[in-house]
């Protein structure tokens, strides 16, 4: 077949030359062309095909396309325009003409051809052969390479799990939108599933992934054609709402929230879920300094505020949210320094052993002696410590200071137990048992003088983890208390398997206990019974009146703590308080616990 073409189009490659040389050169050219693996043609300056190689002929034969007539003698330029369309065709022709005229050194470009089986990509490479302007053009099929490049470009901008645009793509899109001149307002919605961690933890990551895919499909179904929904990661989704002010965006947010009206099918389990949504808008007009990261961060802050306010809320960003975060960041920096430079102090609140009327323990409560703001209570800074990963160093400091103080008291003949409060975050990091052991070793305080307190809600969050760490602490001789019991919603049954020795009844229950017939008194009696059944002793917190003290004692509480007995105080004050109390006791006053403490309260 090739020889047919050769005879048909045999032409001089270099002029002038004699006939024998012509023949030799043509054969040589044909041989060189034939050695090339890619379909290749030799063209004259007008685009007429002079020579083709075997690969070209094979390709032409397999291509069932009447736009392509690959035979020698045909007009390559016409064929290119027909096969590739006018725009690409013109580009090919213009480039090859320029090459032929010596106006450029080479031509290299990719183009595509639509085949019935799909798009094929080719790399066209051409060079000028001689002074006459003949050019040789190779066409390499690069479909695999182009497809691989396209796949990886797609993957770089899309989320594996949901196929939605990913974080990088979303930021690019939002930035592009923000840079548009005279643009309308745009809004970002930041959506986070409430309690997603529970789904992952309880039902496993595969079910969690399933949920995210279902959610992505629902979100995409509710997204207007002009908007874009993407996934930032985890259970965080962002919707870019174009031409949308805050009011419009709130309406859209409600629309997205309603996708949770229908329950989700989590591999056979029906789950009702909700989401918190934050809304942030960039006003319309010329491009401002706002960047995508600013807008998404504002929407994120609004989402967090929505979440804090309860589930399934929508919150629009306002600058005070940013100010609050800036304040928290500042406070975290100061707190870090405070822990290192000794600005933290402990106050100790006495715990009364009701059957004997003796103070046999204290609760260590942390305070921050702030250089400008004065004495700060834990409510002012513990949450920041938890959020900014300062709770572990803070807790270690408290363990160190409290155990040293208790050891010092023991040396002075005051054998007091000391309780230390521990946050959920500390339980999660898993260093609790180690930190407690280190503090005991450093202070030489016997383990049975230390009590670790964890709130009921902390325990209920992850009872198994709590149980494991409680068991390890108790094995080492340290007592464990469940704090604020009655303030959360954990079921009594949840606590049965928790190895704790003391159950602290929240002051909200104690405050309501007016007399034995009150509901709170009944609740306290039930809690005391439960504590006893689980081998725990009950402690009444927040005892503020003599009546509450008497009632909690009568209801079977083993311990009491509260302002009526004494407020939290610094260590030296506590020593004086204990001495005064002992002096009064020695003078033989009063027999009942209520009477024993009343004269020393406050």
Contacts with ligand C2E by CB under 6 A lie at: 349, 365-366, 377-379, 382, 395, 398, 421-423, 453, 483-484, 507, 541-544, 562-563, 568
CA distances from 318 to 17, 39, 253, 324 (A): 85, 64, 16, 11
Q: Does 456 bind Mg ion (CB under 5 A)?
A: no
On the question of a cis peptide bond just before residue 160, with omega within 30 degrees of 0, the verdict is no
Contact (CB, 8 A) for 34 and 51: no
Piece in contact with Mg ion (CB under 5 A), picked from 159-167, 339-347, 533-541, 566-574? 533-541
Piece in contact with Mg ion (CB under 5 A), picked from 133-141, 222-230, 415-423, 519-527? 415-423
Alpha helices, DSSP H, located in 444-570: 456-461, 463-475, 492-496, 507-511, 519-533, 546-554
SS3 101: coil
Nearest approach, Cβ of residue 364 and Mg ion (Å): 9
Rg, C-alpha atoms of the chain: 40
Nearest approach, Cβ of residue 418 and ligand C2E (Å): 11
Nearest approach, Cβ of residue 277 and ligand C2E (Å): 31
User: Which of Mg ion, ligand C2E, none binds 542 (CB below 5-8 Å, type-dependent)?
Assistant: ligand C2E
Nearest approach, Cβ of residue 254 and ligand C2E (Å): 37
Among 96, 228, 483, 574, the residue binding Mg ion under the rule CB under 5 A is 483
Beta carbon nearer to ligand C2E, 100 or 395: 395
Using left for φ > 0, alpha for ψ between -120 and 50, and beta otherwise, residue 118 falls in left
Q: How many C-beta neighbours within 10 Å does residue 206 have?
A: 11
Q: Which of 386, 362, 377, 367 is nearest to 461 (CA)?
A: 386
Chain centroid to Cα 67, Å, comes to 54
Nearest approach, Cβ of residue 426 and ligand C2E (Å): 7
Nearest approach, Cβ of residue 559 and ligand C2E (Å): 13
User: Which of ligand C2E, Mg ion, none binds 568 (CB below 5-8 Å, type-dependent)?
Assistant: ligand C2E
Using left for φ > 0, alpha for ψ between -120 and 50, and beta otherwise, residue 377 falls in beta
Beta carbon nearer to ligand C2E, 10 or 364: 364
Piece in contact with Mg ion (CB under 5 A), picked from 209-217, 246-254, 379-387, 539-547? 539-547
User: Which of ligand C2E, Mg ion, none binds 507 (CB below 5-8 Å, type-dependent)?
Assistant: ligand C2E
Nearest approach, Cβ of residue 309 and ligand C2E (Å): 22
Among 453, 470, 513, 520, the residue binding Mg ion under the rule CB under 5 A is 453
Beta carbon nearer to Mg ion, 92 or 352: 352
Extract long-range pairs of 570-575: CB within 8 Å, 24+ residues apart.
Answer: 570/345, 570/346, 570/347, 570/348, 571/346, 571/348, 571/405, 574/348, 574/350, 574/362, 575/409, 575/412, 575/414
Q: How many C-beta neighbours within 10 Å does residue 47 have?
A: 21
Beta carbon nearer to Mg ion, 334 or 484: 484
Question: Sign (positive/negative) of CA torsion 578, 584, 589, 595?
Answer: negative
User: Which of Mg ion, ligand C2E, none binds 95 (CB below 5-8 Å, type-dependent)?
Assistant: none
Beta carbon nearer to ligand C2E, 125 or 431: 431
SS3 565: coil
The pairing of strands 344-353 and 502-505 is unpaired
Q: Which of 388, 444, 454 is nearest to 420 (CA)?
A: 454
Residue 24, both tokens? 């030799």
Beta carbon nearer to ligand C2E, 374 or 493: 374
CA distances from 100 to 75, 95, 103, 204 (A): 15, 9, 7, 66
Beta carbon nearer to ligand C2E, 34 or 387: 387
User: Which of ligand C2E, Mg ion, none binds 365 (CB below 5-8 Å, type-dependent)?
Assistant: ligand C2E
Beta carbon nearer to ligand C2E, 230 or 568: 568
The pairing of strands 275-282 and 417-422 is unpaired
User: Which of Mg ion, ligand C2E, none binds 423 (CB below 5-8 Å, type-dependent)?
Assistant: ligand C2E
What is the SS3 assignment for 422-460? ECHHHHHHCCHHHHHHHHHHHHCCCHHHEEEEEEHHHHH
Among 223, 403, 421, 469, the residue binding Mg ion under the rule CB under 5 A is 421
User: Which of ligand C2E, Mg ion, none binds 478 (CB below 5-8 Å, type-dependent)?
Assistant: none
Among 456, 482, 484, 594, the residue binding Mg ion under the rule CB under 5 A is 484
Beta carbon nearer to ligand C2E, 177 or 453: 453
Nearest approach, Cβ of residue 313 and ligand C2E (Å): 26
Q: Which of 343, 185, 191, 173 is nearest to 275 (CA)?
A: 191
For Mg ion (CB under 5 A), the number of binding residues is: 5
Contact (CB, 8 A) for 260 and 312: yes
- Tell me, residue by residue from 541 to 570, as one string, x for binding to Mg ion by CB under 5 A and - for no binding: x-----------------------------
Nearest approach, Cβ of residue 437 and ligand C2E (Å): 18
Beta carbon nearer to ligand C2E, 34 or 386: 386
Extract long-range pairs of 546-549: CB within 8 Å, 24+ residues apart.
Answer: 546/594, 546/598, 547/514, 547/515, 548/510, 548/511, 548/513, 549/593, 549/594, 549/597
Beta carbon nearer to ligand C2E, 95 or 349: 349
Q: Which of residues 130-189 bind Mg ion (CB under 5 A)?
A: none
User: Which of ligand C2E, Mg ion, none binds 433 (CB below 5-8 Å, type-dependent)?
Assistant: none
Beta carbon nearer to ligand C2E, 13 or 402: 402
Nearest approach, Cβ of residue 229 and ligand C2E (Å): 39
Q: DSSP letter at 569?
A: B
Beta carbon nearer to ligand C2E, 3 or 341: 341
- The residue written with tokens 């790399």 in the block is 123
Beta carbon nearer to ligand C2E, 190 or 397: 397
List residues near Mg ion by CB under 5 A.
421, 453, 483-484, 541
């Amino acid at each position: 077949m090739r020889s047919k073409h050769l005879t048909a189009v045999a032409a001089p490659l270099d002029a002038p030359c004699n006939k024998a040389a012509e023949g030799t050169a043509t054969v040589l050219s044909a041989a060189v062309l034939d050695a090339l693996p890619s379909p290749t043609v030799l063209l004259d300056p007008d685009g007429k095909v002079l020579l083709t190689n075997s690969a070209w002929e094979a390709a032409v034969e397999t291509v069932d396309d009447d736009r392509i007539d690959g035979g020698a003698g045909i007009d390559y330029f016409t064929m290119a325009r027909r096969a590739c369309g006018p725009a690409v065709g013109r580009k090919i022709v213009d480039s090859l003409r320029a090459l032929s005229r010596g106006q450029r050194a080479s031509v290299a470009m990719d183009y595509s051809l639509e085949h019935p089986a799909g798009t094929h990509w080719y790399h066209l490479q051409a060079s000028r052969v001689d002074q006459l302007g003949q050019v040789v053009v190779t066409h390499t099929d690069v479909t695999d390479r182009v497809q691989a490049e396209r796949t990886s470009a797609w993957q770089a901008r899309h989320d594996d799990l949901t196929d939605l645009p990913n974080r990088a793509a979303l930021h690019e899109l939002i930035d592009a939108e923000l840079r548009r001149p005279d643009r309308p307002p745009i809004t970002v919605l930041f959506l986070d599933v409430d309690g997603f961690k529970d789904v992952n933890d309880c039902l496993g990551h595969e079910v969690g992934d399933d949920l995210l895919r279902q959610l992505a499909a629902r979100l995409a179904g509710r997204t207007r054609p002009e908007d874009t929904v993407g996934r930032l990661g985890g259970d965080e989704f962002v919707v870019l709402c174009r031409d949308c002010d805050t009011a419009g965006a709130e309406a859209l947010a409600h629309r997205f929230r309603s996708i949770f009206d229908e329950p989700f099918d989590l591999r056979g389990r029906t789950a009702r879920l909700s989401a918190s949504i934050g809304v942030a808008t960039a006003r319309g007009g010329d491009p401002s300094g706002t960047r995508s990261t600013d807008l998404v961060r504002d929407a994120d802050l609004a989402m967090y505020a929505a979440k804090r306010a309860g589930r399934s809320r929508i919150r629009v960003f306002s600058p005070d949210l940013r100010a609050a975060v800036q304040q928290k960041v500042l406070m975290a920096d100061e707190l870090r320094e405070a822990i290192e430079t000794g600005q933290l102090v402990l106050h100790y609140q006495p715990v009364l052993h009701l059957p004997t009327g003796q103070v046999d323990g204290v609760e260590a409560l942390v305070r921050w002696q702030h250089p400008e703001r004065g004495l700060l209570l834990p409510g002012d800074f513990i949450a920041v410590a938890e959020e900014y990963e300062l709770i572990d160093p803070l807790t270690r400091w408290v363990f160190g200071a409290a155990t040293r103080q208790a050891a010092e008291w023991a040396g002075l003949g005051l054998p007091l137990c000391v309780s230390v409060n521990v946050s959920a975050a500390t339980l999660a990091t898993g260093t609790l048992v180690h930190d407690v052991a280190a503090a005991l070793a450093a202070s030489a305080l016997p383990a049975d003088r230390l009590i670790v307190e964890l709130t009921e809600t902390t325990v209920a969050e992850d009872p198994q983890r709590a149980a494991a760490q409680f068991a390890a602490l108790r094995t080492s001789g340290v007592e464990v208390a469940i704090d604020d019991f009655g303030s959360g919603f954990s079921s009594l049954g949840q606590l049965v398997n928790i190895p704790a020795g003391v159950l602290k009844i929240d002051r909200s229950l104690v405050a309501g206990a007016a007399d034995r017939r009150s509901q709170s008194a009944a609740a306290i009696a039930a809690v005391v019974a439960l504590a006893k059944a689980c081998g725990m002793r009950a402690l009444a917190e927040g005892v503020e009146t003599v009546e509450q003290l008497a009632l909690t004692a009568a209801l079977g509480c083993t311990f009491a703590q509260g302002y009526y007995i004494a407020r939290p105080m610094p260590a030296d004050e506590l020593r004086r308080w204990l001495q005064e109390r002992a002096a009064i006791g020695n003078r033989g006053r009063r027999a009942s616990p209520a009477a024993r403490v009343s004269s020393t309260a406050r």
